[in-house]
């Protein structure tokens, strides 16, 4: 998966399973799980430029745990693995 | 919850329960409650820049009680707690 | 209510009851009333800046009677009172 | 009605009854009438500024008869009279 | 109709009846006719200005036969005649 | 058809029949044909100007075979012939 | 297919069949296959210019394997082959 380079201001993330972040000790059956909203940043895009031609820097970095909306981004499936490519602007926050 | 850093001009808020701000003395059963529209600012985002590259300052600050639209923002649930990440521009006003 | 500060170019207004501005002498029962379209400005927002960084001034002032569209703005209810927060750009006119 | 000042680039107009502009001599019963599309300008707005801060002048003036789209503008009713507040840009033309 | 001055970059046109431009000799009954797409320019608008304050010139002139989309513009009816006011940008081409 | 001058950045094209570009030798009955996506440029528009007032040049030229989306452009019918007026930006590519 | 030159910032790509990128050894029957999301860049467009008139360079190059959304781009069929023309901005990432 390290060999996918998102274009522009996009980042590649992988959802973190909900039970890994659940506070309680109850294990829900698979169909009852909510889609997790936490994800890990796998790689940053090729970047972009602002109106003056200056490179726009990313705020997140590889390895960051981030919060994403339930429906954000585009799901892609490569080599059997589901990952998500989304614009950095669609990342809601960083879990520090 | 202190360890969530919203991205850009977003802020993290937590809704204040309606009965805490209700004027009358009647306690409504849970299903009859309206979604509260008051919220408390928990943390500010990483900030943004205007077209000239100057940092845009936040108008609200941590601890402010703010008014938000009933349907504004994106709900996220981390460690079992429901919070809301929304753009500062979607905060209607500050309860002073 | 004086303790609500709208954000940016928003203003806080309160609808004026229709019978207070009705020309005729007929008192309509409550269910037949149209939503009033006149409102009084209660407070001005924290303001905004134009593209050059200059403060944008408000055209309306506190106490102005203004005309608003039937569906404009966001209704908020604080301390049991219904008020409306809307952008100044959504005020149609001032009743002088 | 002279005491209503539209905000920004808006103007206040009053529709001219269709039979006043009908060419033929046939008087239609009220339910068969089309909504008139001619209107008279009652007052001009507080004005606006372009991106350079220069005042934008109105092209129409008080008393002009103008053509408006059937569905343009926002109807407001003050003191029992129906008038229309619309952006000058939504006026199609001037009947000279 | 000479006394209607369109506002801004709009022009006033009148549809040319389809049978006047039909190549064949078959006369269709009225209900089978398509709405004609050719029109004649009757008058030009009051004009507009670009971002630098320079006047924008019209490309079409009075008398030009133009092609318009079937659904373009706003129909207005004055003195019993149906004409069309549309933005010059919505004229597809000039029939030279 | 040479006497139609498209306005602005538009071009006038004529669809090329699908069977003329089909690779195989099978002739489909008329109702089974897809709308062809290849077209020939018949004439270029009057042109446009960028934000600095410089003329924008066309990338395609008269006689070019171009690829257009199935649903792009506005169909017009003049002298019994169906042609298409579309913005140059809606041409997907040139068949060289 | 080498003789198609996309216009502007568009690129021409060809989808790579799903089974060619599937990790497992199971061959799915045709109707069960998902539309592949990997594609190969066949040719780059004529290019574009930014607001200052400088040429915008492509980030992808001919031969790159790229990830595209399932529904991105416009399908065109020339000489019996299905290819896709899409804006470079709609390419999600490069498979390195």
- Reply yes or no on whether the pLDDT at G25 is more than 50: no
Q: What is the pLDDT of residues G1-11, one digit of tens each?
A: 548 899 999 99
How many residues belong to chain C?
96
G75 vs C21, higher pLDDT: G75
pLDDT band at A55 (very low <50, low <70, confident <90, very high): confident
CATH pick for F1-15+42-96 out of 3.40.50.2300, 2.30.33.40, 3.20.20.70, 1.10.1740.10: 2.30.33.40
Average pLDDT of every residue of chain B: 80
Q: Give the DSSP H or E segment for C59.
A: none
Residue B6, pLDDT above cutoff 50: yes
- pLDDT tens-place string over residues E26-52: 544 454 445 558 899 999 999 987 767
The answer on pLDDT for E23 being more than 80 is no
Class of domain A10-22+29-95: mainly beta
Residues of chain B with pLDDT > 70, as a percent, come to 75
Q: What is the pLDDT of residue D37?
A: 81
Provide, as residue numbers in chain F, all residues whose Cβ is less than 8 Å from the Cβ of G3: 95-96
- What pLDDT score was predicted for residue F18? 57
Check if C96 contacts D (Cβ < 8 Å).
Answer: yes
Closest among A91, A54, A68, A87 to A15, alpha carbons compared: A68
For residue range F20-46, list pLDDT tens digits in order: 444 444 544 454 445 558 899 999 999
CA distance C89 to C45: 12
Considering CB atoms only, which of F6, F79, F80 is closest to E93?
Answer: F6
Residues pairing with A12 in the sheet: A43, A85
Question: Do residues F25 and F57 touch, judged by C-beta distance below 8 A?
Answer: no
- Fold held by D10-18+33-95: 10 Kd Chaperonin, Protein Cpn10; Chain O (2.30.33)
Interface of D with C in 1-60 (CB under 8 A): 3-8, 10, 12, 45-46, 51, 53
Q: Tell me if B78 and A91 make a contact (CB, 8 A cut-off).
A: no
CATH number assigned to the domain covering B10-18+31-95:
2.30.33.40
* CA distance linking residue E74 with residue B8, whole number of Å: 43
Task: Give average pLDDT by consecutive 10-residue segment, chain D, 96 residues.
Answer: 84 78 48 67 89 82 92 79 91 91
Please tell me the CATH code under which domain E10-95 is placed: 2.30.33.40
**CATH code assigned to C10-19+31-95:** 2.30.33.40
Which of E53, E76, E79 is closest, CB to CB, to D92?
E76
Domain boundary assignment for chain C: 10-19+31-95
Subunits next to B (3 or more Cβ pairs <8 Å) are A, C
- DSSP class per residue in A41-94: EEEE-S-EE-TTSPEEPPSS-TT-EEEE-TT-SEEEEETTEEEEEEEGGGEEEE
User: Tell me, what's the pLDDT at F35?
Assistant: 54
Interface contact E96-F4, CB threshold 8 A: yes
B94 has pLDDT over 90: yes
Report yes or no: E89 and E58 within 8 Å, Cβ to Cβ: no
Q: Rounded to whole angstroms, how far apart are CA atoms D30 and D33?
A: 6
The tens digit of pLDDT for each residue in E50-74 reads: 767 778 889 999 999 999 987 778 8
Alpha carbon of G96: minimum distance to chain A alpha carbons (Å):
5
pLDDT tens across F73-96, in order? 888 877 778 899 999 999 999 997
pLDDT score at F40: 95
Residue G36: its pLDDT value, please?
59
Q: What pLDDT, on the 0 to 100 scale, is given for residue C18?
A: 57
């Amino acid at each position: 998966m390290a060999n996918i380079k998102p274009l522009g201001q996009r980042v590649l993330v992988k959802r973190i399973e909900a039970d890994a972040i659940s506070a309680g000790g109850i294990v829900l059956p698979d169909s009852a799980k909510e889609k997790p909203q936490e994800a890990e940043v796998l790689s940053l895009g090729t970047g972009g430029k602002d109106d003056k031609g200056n490179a726009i820097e990313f705020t997140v970095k590889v390895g960051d745990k981030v919060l994403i909306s339930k429906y954000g981004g585009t799901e892609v499936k490569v080599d059997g693995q589901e990952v998500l490519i989304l614009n950095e602007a669609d990342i809601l926050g960083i879990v520090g």
